[in-house]
Structure 1
Amino acid sequence: MKTTIYILVGLFINSVFSQGGASVKLDIIPKDALVRADPSSAGLDYTYLHTKVDSILTIGIRKEAFPGAVVLVAKQGEIIFEEAYGYHTYDSIQPTAKDDLFDLASVTKVAGALPAIMKLVDEGKLDLDKPFSTYWQRWQKVKDKKDITLREILAHQSGLEPYIIFLNEVIKKNGTLKHRFVKTEPNNRFRHQAYDGLYIKDRFNRKMYRMIDRSKVSEEKKYKYSGLTFLIFPELIEQLTGDSYEYYLEKNFYLPLGVPTMGFGPSTKTFTNAIVPTEQDTIFRHTLTQGWVHDENASLLGGVSGNAGLFATAADLAKLMQMYMQYGIYDGKRYFSENTVKEFSSVQYPENENRRGLGFDKPLLGNDTLQLKDAYPAPEVSAQSFGHSGFTGTFVWADPENQLVYIFLSNRVYPSRDHQNIYDLNIRSAVQQVFYQAGRAKH
C-alpha cells in the first residue's frame, strides 16, 4: 500500500492547544494521488480479474455491443487494472489503446458542468434551494419555470422536458441545411465549429434558450431525466464568474488535477493520442463522427456544452472521480468542501422513488437486493456510491465505502446508435461486479 503523505494547510480557531485564551488547530489534509500497483496489493486476484473481464468484453465485442473499450479500476488509491480491448471499428484495423480519447457524452455533466456548479455553491454564488430564476433571470417571467429550484433541476425532479431536438431547426424537410444557421466557412458571425466544414451561427444558443423557455413543465413533480439546463449552465457560469466556461474548467480543475486530455474539441488540439470514432452520421454531418462531439445539441453550441462535448482518457477521468470519492481532495489540494460533495452525491428525493443525487447518478433504490441482470449499477456497490453514464457507451463510478473507482469507456454507437447490446447484456455493471467479487475469489 502506498504511504499517505500529509501536508499542513492551515491554522484556525478551536485547536488542541491554546495561547492567551485563543486556541489554534492544525488542519491536516491527506495528500492522496493515484498510483499504479499490482491487484494483489489491494487484496484482489490478478488471474481472476483478467479472466472474468476478458470474457465479458470478448462477448460484448463479438455481439457488437461496441468495437472496442477501455476499462480502468482504482482500489484504495491504486490503479490495479487498466486494459484496452478490441478495435476502433469492426474492420479490426486500429487496436484500441489505453490512452485513446473517447467522446464522454453525458459523463460531461459530472466532469464539466457539475464541478463548476459545485464550486459556485461552495462559494455561496449559487443556492440550491433558491429559484433557479434568481440566477437565470429570463425565467423570472416564465410562469411554469420561475419557482423551480436548482436542487430540483440537478436531481431531475423539476418536471422539465427531457430533450429538445434542436437539429430540427437547422435542417430543412428535404435534408439540406438552413444556411441562415449553418455555413461551410467561418465568418465573424459563424465561429462555432460543429465539424470539419460546418460552422454554427454564434447566436444560435439564443434560439435554444428561447425554445427551452417555451418548453412544457410537468405539473407532477417526479423523477424525469432532463438535460436541458445543462445547455444553459455554460452561459450561467460565465455570467457568475466572468470567465468563459471552458477556461473556468481548465483553470480550476483540469490543470491543477493534471488531466491534460480532458477538454472540448480535441481535433483542434495537438494530442498525440488517437481519438476513437463514434457514429457514422447520416443526418447532420454525413460522415464518420470523430474528434468532434457526437451529441447534436452540444454540436450546435460549437461542441462546448454542459450536457456533452468532453473527451478524455480513462486515466484522466480516474483522477477526477478519485477526487470526488475523496470528498473534494486530490494530491493535497482541496477543490470542494467535504459537505458539498456529500450533499451532491446523496439521494435527494427518495420519497418520490427518485434515486438521483445532485447531478450525480446513484444506484437503484434497493439495488443491493437485486440480481445483476436487474441491478444498476453492480448490485454490490455501496449506497454511498455515485457516478454517471454516457450515451456513447461511457460510464464512471466512485464508491467511497469500498474505495473503488470504476471507468468504462467504449464507442457503442459505432456504426450507429441502434446498437443496444451494451444495455441488453448489462456489460458495464457485469464488469464492475467482477471487482467486488475478486477479493472473495482470492480466498
Structure 2
Amino acid sequence: MYTKTRQLLADLVTDQIVPGVSYALIDHSRVLTDVFGWRELVPKRLQLHAGSQYDLASLTKIVGTTTVIFQLIAQGKVQLEDPVQKYLPAFQDERVQLWHLLTHTSGIAGYIPNRDRLSAADLKAALLKLPVTATFEHEMIYTDVGFLYLGWVIEQVCGKSVQQVITERVLQPLKLAGATFTPDPANCVPTNRKDGQLLQGVVHDPKAHTLGRHCGSAGLFATLADLVQFSQWYLGQRPDLPELISRSFIAQLYADHTRHHLQRSLGWALRFAPTDQHPLLFHSGYTGTFIVLDQQLQQGLIVLTNRIHPVEENPVFLDRRHLIVDQFMAELPSN
C-alpha cells in the first residue's frame, strides 16, 4: 500500500529534512500509521512518540474555521455572497464577499509596519484597513488575512471567540480528544525558537500569537489520531460521528469555486489525480503539516512534521512535499 509514498516519507528523516514524521494513509476503512524520527533535535535529541501534539498552523483553517463557516451557511446564518462589510463594517471595500475570503481571491494585501509589536486590538484594526489590490478575483494569492476576517465574522455571528466556537462546534462533537488551542507543552512537538526560548505548546505563527483566542487562521494543536478521525469524518467513513456538514455540501467542495478557474475550492486547494483528473482536496500548514483527501476513491494522506525545527528556513521540505503528494496521487488505486 503506497510503497513509494511511504519511502519518500521515510526519506524526510533519513535525509535530515525534518526531525521526525507522523503520518497516516487512509484506504476506505483501513488506516496505516507510522511515527518515526526525533521529536526535537535541540537543545537535546528526543525520540518522537505516538500521541504527540503538533502545531497545525494553517490546518486550523480547514479543521476549524471553514467547518464552522460551512455550518453557519447550512443554518442560514451567513451566506457565501454576503459582503464582508456586513459583519465587519470597519472593512471598507463593499465588493469583497465571504467566498472571496474562502478562495483566497479577495485581493486584500498590504504591509503593516511593526506588525509583531502591535497589541491585538491594534493589529485587528490595521488588518481591517488593508486595501483590496488589483488581483481581486483574478488571482489566487494564499494569505492568512482572509481567514482572520472569517474568524471575526464567526465571532460577530456567534458572540464568542472564534477558538471557543471551533472547540464547541467542531473539536468536541467530533471527539478530537487531542485537538486544542491550549495544549500541555510537555506533550507538544516543538517548532522553532523565539527570544532564545523553544516554542513548545506555544503557537508559532506571530499573528496568531498576538490575537490569541481571536485567531481563526492558526493556533490549533492536534495529534495524528485527531486528524485521522477528522479526515475519516470528512470522507463519510464515520457514521458514528455527527453530520456537522451535509454530505452533499462536502461533495460540492471537490470543484473550483473561483470565477477564473484558479483551481481553488472553499477553504481547500484542489489537486487532480494523474489517471483521470478527478479532484482531491489538499491543504498544508507552515510548520510542516499537510492533508490530501480523495472522496471518489475514499483515500487520504495525513503528514505531520516540525519542518521548521531546528532551522526555520527549509525550502527543501516544500519541494519534497510536492513530490510526496504527486507520488501519493500516482499510487491511488484504480476505480
2:57 to 83, 91, 105: 105
SS where residue 82 of structure 1 aligns? strand
SS where residue 81 of structure 2 aligns? coil
> Where does residue 315 of structure 1 map in the other structure?
225
What's the CA shift string for 1:80-104, capped at 9, x where partnerless? x100121022367321122111110
2:96 to 148, 159, 169: 148
Gap regions ≥5 residues in structure 2? none
> Where does residue 391 of structure 1 map in the other structure?
286
Tell me which amino acid in the other structure corresponds to 1:341: I
Report deviation, 1:248: 2.1
- Map 1:220-239 onto structure 2 (within 5 A): 220=135, 221-222=137-138, 223-239=140-156
> Would you say the 8 A contact 1:132–1:148 is kept in 2?
yes
Q: Are 2:173 and 1:256 aligned?
A: yes
> Where does residue 306 of structure 2 map in the other structure?
411
Report deviation, 1:353: 4.0
* Root mean square deviation of aligned Cα: 2.6
> Where does residue 248 of structure 2 map in the other structure?
339
After superposition, the Cα gap between the structure-2 partners of 1:58 and 1:398, relative to the gap in structure 1 and judged at 3 Å, is: closer
After superposition, the Cα gap between the structure-2 partners of 1:429 and 1:326, relative to the gap in structure 1 and judged at 3 Å, is: farther
- Map 1:8-407 onto structure 2 (within 5 A): 44=1, 49=3, 52-53=4-5, 55-79=7-31, 81-90=32-41, 93-139=45-91, 142=92, 145-161=93-109, 168-171=114-117, 204-220=119-135, 221-222=137-138, 223-267=140-184, 274-281=187-194, 285-302=195-212, 305-326=215-236, 330-349=239-258, 352-363=260-271, 367-368=272-273, 379=274, 383-407=278-302
Distance in structure 2 (CA, Å) of the matches to 1:417 and 1:245: 28
What's the CA shift string for 1:88-138, capped at 9, x where partnerless? 223673211221111101111101111111101111111101212122222
After superposition, the Cα gap between the structure-2 partners of 1:347 and 1:237, relative to the gap in structure 1 and judged at 3 Å, is: same
Tell me which amino acid in the other structure corresponds to 2:307: R
Distance in structure 1 (CA, Å) of the matches to 2:280 and 2:52: 26
TM-score using structure 1 length: 0.68
Distance in structure 1 (CA, Å) of the matches to 2:325 and 2:37: 15
After superposition, the Cα gap between the structure-2 partners of 1:135 and 1:394, relative to the gap in structure 1 and judged at 3 Å, is: same
After superposition, the Cα gap between the structure-2 partners of 1:427 and 1:154, relative to the gap in structure 1 and judged at 3 Å, is: closer
Distance in structure 2 (CA, Å) of the matches to 1:312 and 1:251: 15
Distance in structure 2 (CA, Å) of the matches to 1:153 and 1:315: 29
TM-score using structure 2 length: 0.89
SS where residue 212 of structure 1 aligns? helix
Aligned length in residues: 331
2:331 to 424, 437, 441: 437
Tell me which amino acid in the other structure corresponds to 1:342: A
Tell me which amino acid in the other structure corresponds to 1:210: A
> Would you say the 8 A contact 1:382–1:402 is kept in 2?
no
> Would you say the 8 A contact 1:344–1:357 is kept in 2?
yes
After superposition, the Cα gap between the structure-2 partners of 1:253 and 1:54, relative to the gap in structure 1 and judged at 3 Å, is: closer
Larger of the two Rg values belongs to structure? 1
> Would you say the 8 A contact 2:13–2:37 is kept in 1?
yes
> Would you say the 8 A contact 2:179–2:221 is kept in 1?
yes
Report deviation, 1:337: 2.0
After superposition, the Cα gap between the structure-2 partners of 1:83 and 1:352, relative to the gap in structure 1 and judged at 3 Å, is: same
Report deviation, 1:396: 1.1
Gap regions ≥5 residues in structure 1? 1-43, 172-180, 182-203, 369-378
Report deviation, 1:60: 1.8
SS where residue 184 of structure 2 aligns? helix
What's the CA shift string for 1:392-417, capped at 9, x where partnerless? 01001210011012110000001122
Distance in structure 2 (CA, Å) of the matches to 1:237 and 1:438: 37
After superposition, the Cα gap between the structure-2 partners of 1:280 and 1:402, relative to the gap in structure 1 and judged at 3 Å, is: same
What's the CA shift string for 1:285-336, capped at 9, x where partnerless? 4311111100000000126521111010111111112222229x64252111
SS where residue 88 of structure 1 aligns? strand
Distance in structure 2 (CA, Å) of the matches to 1:137 and 1:85: 49
Report deviation, 1:429: 4.2
Report deviation, 1:213: 2.7
> Would you say the 8 A contact 1:265–1:303 is kept in 2?
no
